[in-house]
Structure 1
Amino acid sequence: MNAPSPPRIFSSRRRLNARRRMAKMRSSGTAVSTLAREIAGDALDRLGFLNRNFAKVLVIGDTTGAFADGLDASAVVTRADPSDLFGLAIDEECPLPGGPYDLIASLGLLDSVNDLPGALMLMRRALAPDGLMIASFSGAGSLPVLRAAMLAADGERPAPRIHPQVDVRAAGQLMTRIGFASPVVDGWGFDVGFENLDQLVGDLRAQAIGNVLADPGPPLGKAALMRARKTFADEAGSDGLVRERFEVLTLSGWSPALRT
């Protein structure tokens, strides 16, 4: 009997278009990359605590190139992305080509796949024995000010506008169920100041972390948009900036080593 298909929460087409739009903005020098830089830097710091070099590496979604560039010079690195604009075109919900790998890093992507357990399982299967998987993506608690602004905009009939988010506990249970050895899951975050709602939305789109839901909800009307802008602006500090929170989940685990 075939296993049921996962629910279609996200649109693969909208997700791909968002990343291609981001690539185009990067090429023209008009895109920000705050989240991608933070995630890549944190992942490199984590590897720095391991007394180990990885010979064959797959890096998925490293749009800044910082993570791949920070690896040991002897590593053979394959860069990949859902689009073909940041490396080899790859679908995280299909078997990963070119393995087995000693290290697989997925940066900033798994919050918008329809089958998160399946994507993690495919990465585990693509690892060599005693290989490491590390994945970082937006987690529960991200964008609380934007969430409140959207709820205020929609009133009594809220529409789907913010992605569902995974928390530390659920991610930890998932890693154990999939069979990673020595799994570690933790959350961390940072704040960014924005002058207004439009600046935040523009930055999210420029980083391909805007709404890619299969059902994105209807466009905001003029009155609803004004309510959203006011709710957002009401959170401004004494410097006139609204601090928005970005929470990140980082999952790491090892492929079980072969027994001798």
Structure 2
Amino acid sequence: MPTPALFDPDLLAQRRARAARIGGADFLQEAVADEIAERLQEVNRSFQAPAIVGPKAALWQARLCLPGATLADDSETLALAPAAHDLVVHALALHWANDPVGQLVQCRRALRPDGLLLAVLFGGETLTELRQALAAAEVATLGGLSPRVAPMGEIRDLGGLLQRAGFAMPVADSRRFDVSYAGAVELMRDLRAMGETNVLCERLRRPMRREMLARAAAAYAAAAGRPDGRVRATFEVIVLTGWAPAPDQPKPLRPGSATTRLEAALRDAGDPKSR
């Protein structure tokens, strides 16, 4: 029996189309893409056949300086040819996948032996302030809870996805981005412009009451207010790094024995002379 879908892909496409019409909220995509560009500079390798997966693939292509990259939507079946790429960047979209392991398996199959995957997605601390404020307001207003913010995976669980998908030398790490807003309403407006609003299949099908919105905004300001009168919004970005298996790759160390930083591991794994 198939596992019920967590997200509504048709609604996600509609929300992304609406976000494209609104525009003006790509700052987080740009900041994260710039972070990945710095990581790629640490890899001693020139990628000749890269691919970028995600709704903002063209933006990432420009920020990563990969003019010849293949661009693909993060649809259920990725439009990537088998063993065609030496780099695949899954760009800030995997958190919306109903089958994230399937997405990663397709990325591995699209890589040549010893090709690099960088899968970037939002992690469990993302929007934690909004999640708590909405929960408190909904309990006070409606007497119960409904799914309003998508669940995000924890870094330990997400790292395990790489192993399940068959990647060698898997690494998962996180980077936190703190963004300030005038209030919760402004944050929610920005999430709409980002295309990152609620598309859970089990979501409520009616608009939020004004009373609940006001309670949520007040709870948000009380819990995450800053001295300047603005509020904090947390975005945790998880980066999953893995290599398509190849015979001459370094063997992984036993658990707990690692002494090398991620940047050095990327650099050494990308340098054939270091093997």
Q: 1:133 aligns with which of 117, 126, 136?
A: 117
Superposed CA deviations along residues 24-54 of structure 1, whole A, max 9, x for unmatched, are 223xxxx211221122111111111001011
1:190 shift after superposition: 1.2
**SS of structure 2 residue aligned to 1:252:** strand
Whole-angstrom distance in 2 between the partners of 1:70 and 1:165: 25
Asked whether 1:32 is paired with 2:21, we answer no
Q: Secondary structure at the match of 2:241?
A: strand
Match of 2:70 among 78, 88, 105: 78
Aligned counterparts, 1:1-260, within 5 A: 4-26=1-23, 31-61=24-54, 63=56, 65-71=58-64, 76-82=68-74, 91=75, 93-99=76-82, 100-155=84-139, 156-217=143-204, 218-234=206-222, 235-257=224-246
Q: 1:70 Cα deviation (Å)?
A: 4.5
TM-score (norm 1): 0.87
CA distance in structure 1 between the aligned counterparts of 2:102 and 2:146, rounded to whole angstroms? 28
Q: Is the 8 A contact 1:192 1:245 kept in 2?
A: yes
Q: Is the 8 A contact 1:37 1:64 kept in 2?
A: no
In structure 2, runs of 5+ residues without a counterpart are: 249-275
Aligned residues: CA RMSD? 1.8
Moved more, 240-249 or 16-25: 16-25
Task: Report the residue type matching 1:47 in the other structure.
Answer: L
Q: How far did 1:245 drift?
A: 0.7
More off after superposition, 94-103 vs 11-20 = 94-103
1:105-142 Cα deviation digits (max 9, x unpaired): 11110101111111111111111111111111110111
Helix, strand or coil for the counterpart of 2:69? Answer: strand
The match for 2:271 is: none
Q: Give the stretch that moved more between structures: 224-233 or 194-203.
A: 224-233
Q: How many Å apart are 1:191 and its aligned residue?
A: 0.5
Quote the offset at 1:149 in angstroms. 1.2
Cα shift at 1:216: 2.0
SS at match of 1:152: helix
- Looking at structure 1, the residues matched to 209 and 21 of structure 2 have their Cα atoms a distance apart, in angstroms, of 28
User: If each structure's helix is expressed as a fraction of its own residues, which one has the higher value?
Assistant: 2
Identity of aligned residues (%): 34
> What TM-score, normalized by structure 2, do the two folds share?
0.82
SS of 1:40 mapped into structure 2: helix
The answer for the alignment partner of 1:88 in structure 2 is none
Q: Is the 8 A contact 1:151 1:158 kept in 2?
A: yes
